[in-house]
Structure 1
């Protein structure tokens, strides 16, 4: 996993967590959903990188 891709995945996950929390606090369903989607994007990106790493070995 390259450092750039790993950082981007973690960044998406962290931003998603923050958005989801902000959405819950403000009772904003759209923001909560957006946060969940961004977390999922980070999870998928991280999983893809792990698959790439597995095949490099």
Structure 2
């Protein structure tokens, strides 16, 4: 499952994989086997950074 292809950051991808109990993930073409999902304490989606763009205001 290559989850970071959709623009997600690696942190978000790993958070999703661990919360959902997915045992194998491909991140940037590398195969990761993730054991011990029960030790992952976070149970909510990883917070996404807010990016606020300034628009030019005509004066």
Shared fold (TM-score greater than 0.5)?
no
- Greater helix share, structure number: 1
Bigger CA radius of gyration: 2
**Taking structure 2 as the reference length, what is the TM-score of the superposition?**
0.30
TM (norm. structure 1) is: 0.31
Which has the bigger relative contact order, CA under 8 A and spacing at least 6?
A: 1
